[in-house]
Amino acid sequence: MHRAMAQKQSQNNVDLSGQTVWVIDLFSRVYQLFHALPEMSSPEGTPVSVIFGLTRDLIDITEKKKPNYLFCGSDTPEPTFRHKQFEAYKATRSEMPADLVPQLPLVKKLLEVFGVPCLELAGYEADDVLATLAVQTVAAG
């Protein structure tokens, strides 16, 4: 994956010298927010604590840090190459909390509103995709 994406980047001749690139591992941040913030809900009763926290984070990043580029990486439901190599990979991980599930579509909409691309690739985890992006960013200046 790294090689193919790096080759595509080099063909684009992107110069990122002096540019700031921020990346967010989406599910890592979503789980942090879910467990750190108190329960909140919309007037209709939909849980929204993650949306509140992520909105706050995105405003802070875009207004105070002012990166030239901001990306999220997201896991996909498909098994990764790690699952294929080691059947018990993440087998002991508990299911997603019920109050988090209805917030995920809202998270995707929030990223769209902020214009933050969410990068994902079937068979890879967010950290794999973001590590590839980091390698490409370094190669581009």
Determine the distance from the C-alpha atom of residue 44 to the mean position of all C-alpha atoms in its chain, rounded to a whole number.
27
Which tens digits make up the pLDDT trace of 52-101? 999 999 999 999 999 999 999 999 888 888 878 887 777 777 899 999 99
CATH of the domain at 78: 3.40.50.1010
**Residues ≥6 apart with Cβ < 8 Å to 5:** 132, 133, 136
Number of domains forming the structure of the chain: 1
- Percentage of residues of the chain with pLDDT beyond 90: 65
Within a domain: 6: no
Cβ(41)–Cβ(47) below 8 Å: yes
| 3-state DSSP assignment of residue 84 | helix
- Sheet of 69-73: strand order equals 21-25, 69-73, 118-119
Query: Which pTM value belongs to this model?
Result: 0.82
Q: Label residue 13 by pLDDT band (50, 70, 90).
A: confident
The pLDDT score that the predictor gives to residue 6 is: 43
Residue 8: pLDDT over 80: no
Within a domain: 4: no
| DSSP letter assigned to residue 125 | -
Within a domain: 133: yes
